[in-house]
Structure 1
Amino acid sequence: MGRWGIVALAALAVMGTACSPGSAEPATSDEASTSATRTPRITDDSGRPPVTFDPCYDIPDDVMNAAGYDAAQKEIADMPMGTYTFLGCTYDNRDHIPGVRRGYGLNILAGNVTLDEEFQKNAHVASQTSINGRPALLEVDPDARNGCKYALQTDFGVVLVTRVLYADHSGPAPQIDWCAGMENLVASVEPFIAN
C-alpha cells in the first residue's frame, strides 16, 4: 500500500477523534453548486496548488444521506503534511448486524497531489477509468482487505474516495463486494467537486 493509501486509512483510523464540522450549515444541492470558492482551512509550504474543495462542506448532506451515509455523523479529518495537504471528511457506521446489515468506514480526501502521482504510487492496483467524464482511477488492493478507492482528477490535485466495508460476518467480505455501490456514490459526489 502506498503513502497516500496509508494517509486514507489513517484518516479512517482516527476519525473517532476528529473534530466535528461544528456550526457550519450544511450546503443544499443548489447552494453547493453555486457557492463561491472559500479560502482553504489548511495550506502547506510546498508550492502546490491550494486545495479548493472541502469534502465536509462542499458535498451536500442530502446527497450523502441519499447514498446511504449518515451525514449527521460526518467528521472532519484533515491531514496537513507540509509538502502536501489533504482536507478530509469521514463517515462511519459500525452498527452492523451480522448476517443482516454491513457497516462501513468512508473517507473523502481532497489533496494537492496529482492523479499521475497517485497512479505512479499505486499502478500495481490501479486501473484508469472516468466518472461523469472526469479522469479517475479505481484502486482495489487485495492486501487492503475490504477496501475500495476511487481517485478523481481536479485542477488542484485529486479527490480520493475510500471505503472500508465492515463485513456482516467474521473474515473478509468477498472481493466482488468491496466496491459494490461505490461507482454510483462517486458519480453522485463528482458534480460538487471544484474542477
Structure 2
Amino acid sequence: MGRWGTVALAALAVVATACSPGSAEPATSDEASPSTTRTPRITDDSGRPPVTFDPCYDIPDDVMNAAGYDAGKKELADMPMGTYTFLGCAYEGTVSIPGVLARYDLNILSGNVTLEEEQDKNGHVAVPTVINGRPALLEVDPGNVETCRYVLETNFGVVILSRLYQKDHSGPVPQSEWCNEFEQTISTIEPFIQN
C-alpha cells in the first residue's frame, strides 16, 4: 500500500466516528446519476485540486446495500494531510459464509494524489486495468494479507477501494480469492464517482 494509503487508512481507523453521515440527505438512487458536486468538507494547503467526490455522501445507500455492505453503519473520516487530502468512508459487509467468510469490509478513500503517484509508490504490486472505461490500477500486495485494492483515476486525483476478506476459519485465504467478484462491485460503484 502506498505511503498515503497507509496513512489515510490508519487515520480512517483512528478518527472514524461511530455515527453515520445520515444527518445529511443520504444519497439514494436506482440510477447511476451522480449528485451535484458539493463544496468539499475539507481542503488542504497543497495547491492540489479539491476532493470533490465524498464516498460517504455521493454513493447511494441503496447501491451499497445491494452490493452487500451495510450503509446504515458506514463511518466517515476527514483526513487533511497538509500536502494532500483523503475523504474516507468505511463499510461493513453483510455477506457471510459460515466456516469460510465472516464478511468483506470495504474502505473507500477519495484523494487528491494522482494515479501516476500511486503507480510510482505501488508499481511492484499494481497492474493497470480499466473499469467502465476509467483508467485504474488493481493492487494485490502479498504483504497486505487478504486485501484487494482498486485505484480509479479521477480529475481531482484517485478513488481507492480497498476490500478486506474477514475469514471465518483458521489458516490463510488463498491469494487467488482475495479479489473474487470485487471488480463487479467496483463497476457498480464507479458511475457515481464524479470525474
TM-score normalised per structure 2 = 0.91
- Alpha-carbon distance change, 42 to 96 in structure 1, aligned in 2, over 3 angstroms: same
The aligned residue for residue 185 of structure 2 is 185
For 1:82-125, what per-residue CA distance to the aligned partner results, in whole angstroms no more than 9, with x for missing partners? 11000111012499575154222210010000000000000000
Give the counterpart letter for 2:26 in structure 1: P
* CA apart distance, 1:141: 0.0
The aligned residue for residue 65 of structure 2 is 65
- Alpha-carbon distance change, 16 to 34 in structure 1, aligned in 2, over 3 angstroms: closer
The aligned residue for residue 110 of structure 1 is 110
Q: How does 1:1-195 map to 2 (within 5 A)?
A: 1-11=1-11, 13-14=13-14, 17=17, 19-29=19-29, 33=33, 35-93=35-93, 98-99=98-99, 101-195=101-195
Give the counterpart letter for 1:189 in structure 2: I
In structure 2, what is the Cα distance between the partners aligned to 1:69 and 1:112?
25
In structure 2, what is the Cα distance between the partners aligned to 1:86 and 1:150?
15
In structure 2, what is the Cα distance between the partners aligned to 1:7 and 1:92?
20
* Conservation of the 8 A alpha-carbon contact between 2:12 and 2:88: no
* CA apart distance, 1:20: 2.6
* CA apart distance, 1:15: 6.8
In structure 2, what is the Cα distance between the partners aligned to 1:12 and 1:41?
15
State the SS of the aligned residue for 1:184.
Answer: helix
State the SS of the aligned residue for 1:29.
Answer: coil
- Alpha-carbon distance change, 12 to 173 in structure 1, aligned in 2, over 3 angstroms: farther
* CA apart distance, 1:188: 0.4
- Alpha-carbon distance change, 9 to 87 in structure 1, aligned in 2, over 3 angstroms: closer
In structure 1, what is the Cα distance between the partners aligned to 2:34 and 2:139?
31
* Conservation of the 8 A alpha-carbon contact between 1:109 and 1:161: yes
Give the counterpart letter for 1:23 in structure 2: S
- Alpha-carbon distance change, 102 to 18 in structure 1, aligned in 2, over 3 angstroms: same
State the SS of the aligned residue for 2:33.
Answer: helix
State the SS of the aligned residue for 2:23.
Answer: coil
In structure 2, what is the Cα distance between the partners aligned to 1:147 and 1:53?
23
In structure 2, what is the Cα distance between the partners aligned to 1:92 and 1:30?
21
State the SS of the aligned residue for 2:194.
Answer: coil
5+ residue gaps, structure 1, are: none
Size of the aligned set, in residue pairs, is 195
- Alpha-carbon distance change, 111 to 16 in structure 1, aligned in 2, over 3 angstroms: closer
TM-score normalised per structure 1 = 0.91
Give the counterpart letter for 1:5 in structure 2: G
* CA apart distance, 1:66: 0.7
* Conservation of the 8 A alpha-carbon contact between 2:50 and 2:112: yes
For 1:164-190, what per-residue CA distance to the aligned partner results, in whole angstroms no more than 9, with x for missing partners? 111111232111111112101110010
Give the counterpart letter for 1:59 in structure 2: I
RMSD: 2.2
Identity score, percent: 72
